[in-house]
């Protein structure tokens, strides 16, 4: 991400336990993430990881118990948004512009899904992300995504960092 | 998939699609159900606080809009195709067009192309004003029978 060379990210200047801050923000404060049971498992500058446990109410195919794609979509969106949040140099709301997801392989029923996202490029208006969802081996993905996020959308940049909505909020921010 | 296909058969006979949503646990939890009261097949996502992604605006979580678009495409395929196989999603590309406000969201799907193996489906979602969509998606499904 080109711009990091110039300015320090908010992430770098955050005091205290960064993982805890992001867990509070993404797992506890965003209602839909909380309802899904999305857990933030790791965060670094430019990257984020989450876990989604298999739950009966997230099933899309009642015969097989395979998770609905919608739950994985929400997870990849949230995780990608969180990766964007780690590279911002100023507090600003942002929102998903588009997200493409390839469903490479069905999720295995009963197993948690893990997601790893990275924000690989940040410009003044747009952030670019990629992410994978998998069962433990990122090289053997369930789903793979490419996303773009618009920066400085309407709304407040809350909570000292960016707007809390940030990641999760895709659809909205504009 | 038999349960689902049985429900589909029953829904066809009754010309009432609303029960189809009940057969899918995730759709039920998300408050999504198909409806064909106006002569076209729409999928409604009933507003509920657990769909919120941004409490400040407030706005629906983008993932819920993506999920609605995908679910609407699946209902469309199930309803329109005489195929005893569940469509399997290959990919989805979602455009987030506007902030989703805390209210019901509707979606309508149509075939871009229905081939022998692959169906291309376009879906649009809106809230109170159909001319101002909150999201749109293009999806591909494999529609061959499962081996």
* Inter-chain CB proximity A74 and B4 less than 8 Å: no
Q: What is the pLDDT of residue A6?
A: 63
Rounded to whole angstroms, the Cα distance separating A39 from A48 reads 11
SS (H, E, C) chain B: CHHHHHHHHHHHHHCCCHHHHHCCHHHHHHCEEEECCCCCCEEEECCCHHHEEECCCCEECHHHHHHHHHHHHHHHHHHHCCCCCCCEEEEEEEEECCCCCCCCEEEEEEEEEECCCEEEEEEEEECCCCCCCCEEEEEEEECCCCC
Strand partners, B67: none
Q: How does residue A171 score in pLDDT terms, banded at 50, 70 and 90?
A: very low
Interface of A with B in 101-120 (CB under 8 A): 101-103, 106
What is the tally of structural domains in chain A? 1
Q: What is the pLDDT of residue A156?
A: 63
Q: What is the pLDDT of residue A173?
A: 39
Question: Over pLDDT 90: what percentage of chain A?
Answer: 64
| B137 within a domain of the structure (yes/no) | yes
Query: Any idea what the CATH number is for the domain that residue A116 is in?
Result: 3.10.129.10
Q: What is the pLDDT of residue B90?
A: 96
Interface of A with B in 34-53 (CB under 8 A): 34-35
More confident residue, A163 or B82: B82
pTM score of the predicted model: 0.90
Name the nearest CA neighbour of A60 among B54, B14, B74: B74
Residue burial A51-60, b: 16+ Cβ < 10 Å; e: rest: bbebeeebbb
| A138 within a domain of the structure (yes/no) | yes
Q: Does B138 contact chain A (CB < 8 Å)?
A: no
Q: What is the pLDDT of residue A168?
A: 41
Check if the beta carbon of residue B63 is closer than 8 Å to that of residue B135. no
Other beta carbons within 10 Å of A115: 28
Q: What is the pLDDT of residue A159?
A: 43
Q: What is the pLDDT of residue B84?
A: 62
Q: What is the pLDDT of residue B125?
A: 98
Low-confidence ranges of chain B (pLDDT < 50): none
| B147 within a domain of the structure (yes/no) | no
Residues of A with Cβ-Cβ distance to B88 under 8 angstroms: 106
* Inter-chain CB proximity A173 and B25 less than 8 Å: no
Check if the beta carbon of residue B109 is closer than 8 Å to that of residue A120. no
Residues of B with Cβ-Cβ distance to A74 under 8 angstroms: 61-64, 66-67
Among B25, B51, B93, select the one facing A32 at the smallest CB separation: B51
A129-162 residue pLDDT tens: 999 999 999 999 999 999 999 998 877 654 434 3
A15-54 residue pLDDT tens: 888 899 888 888 888 999 999 999 999 999 999 999 999 9
* Inter-chain CB proximity B62 and A69 less than 8 Å: no
**Statement: residue A166 has pLDDT above 80:** no
Question: What is the residue range of B138's domain?
Answer: 2-142
Query: Any idea what the CATH number is for the domain that residue B101 is in?
Result: 3.10.129.10
Rounded to whole angstroms, the Cα distance separating A77 from B45 reads 19
Q: What is the pLDDT of residue A131?
A: 98
Residues of A with Cβ-Cβ distance to B61 under 8 angstroms: 30-33, 74, 77-78, 168-171
**Statement: residue A97 has pLDDT above 70:** yes
| A52 within a domain of the structure (yes/no) | yes
What is the tally of structural domains in chain B? 1
Q: What is the pLDDT of residue B10?
A: 83
Interface of A with B in 63-92 (CB under 8 A): 63-64, 67-71, 73-75, 77-78
- Measured CA to CA in angstroms, residue A55 lies from A107, A115, A132, B12, B112 at distances of 12, 16, 20, 30, 34
CA distance B40 to chain A (A): 23
Question: What is the residue range of A20's domain?
Answer: 13-172
**Statement: residue A59 has pLDDT above 80:** yes
Q: What is the pLDDT of residue A35?
A: 96
């Amino acid at each position: 991400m080109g711009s990091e060379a110039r300015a320090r990210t908010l992430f770098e200047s955050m005091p205290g336990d960064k993982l805890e801050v992001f867990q509070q923000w993404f797992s506890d404060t965003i209602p839909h993430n909380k309802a899904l049971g999305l857990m933030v498992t790791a965060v670094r500058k430019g990257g984020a990881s989450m876990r989604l446990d298999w739950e009966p109410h997230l099933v899309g195919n009642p015969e097989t118990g395979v998770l609905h794609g919608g739950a994985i979509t929400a997870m990849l969106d949230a995780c990608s948004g969180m990766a964007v949040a780690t590279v911002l140099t100023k507090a600003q709301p942002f929102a998903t512009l588009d997200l493409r997801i390839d469903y490479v392989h069905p999720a295995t029923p009963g197993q948690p899904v893990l997601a790893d996202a990275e924000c690989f490029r940040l410009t003044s208006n747009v952030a670019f992300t990629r992410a994978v969802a998998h069962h433990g081996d990122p090289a053997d993905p369930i789903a793979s995504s490419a996303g773009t996020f618009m920066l400085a959308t309407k709304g407040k940049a809350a909570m000292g960092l960016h707007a809390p909505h940030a990641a999760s909020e895709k659809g909205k921010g504009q | 998939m038999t349960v689902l296909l049985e429900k589909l058969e029953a829904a066809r006979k009754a010309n009432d699609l609303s029960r189809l949503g009940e057969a899918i646990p995730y759709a039920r939890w998300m408050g999504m159900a198909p409806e064909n009261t106006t002569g076209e097949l729409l999928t409604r996502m009933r507003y509920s606080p657990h769909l919120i992604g941004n409490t400040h605006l407030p706005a629906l979580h983008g993932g819920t809009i993506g999920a609605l678009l995908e679910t609407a495409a699946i209902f469309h395929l199930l309803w329109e195709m005489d195929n005893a196989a569940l469509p399997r999603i290959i990919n989805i590309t979602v455009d987030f067009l506007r902030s989703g406000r805390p209210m019901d969201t509707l979606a309508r799907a149509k075939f871009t192309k229905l081939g022998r193996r692959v169906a291309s489906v376009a879906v649009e979602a809106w809230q109170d004003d159909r001319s101002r969509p909150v999201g749109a998606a293009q999806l591909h499904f494999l529609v061959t029978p499962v081996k």
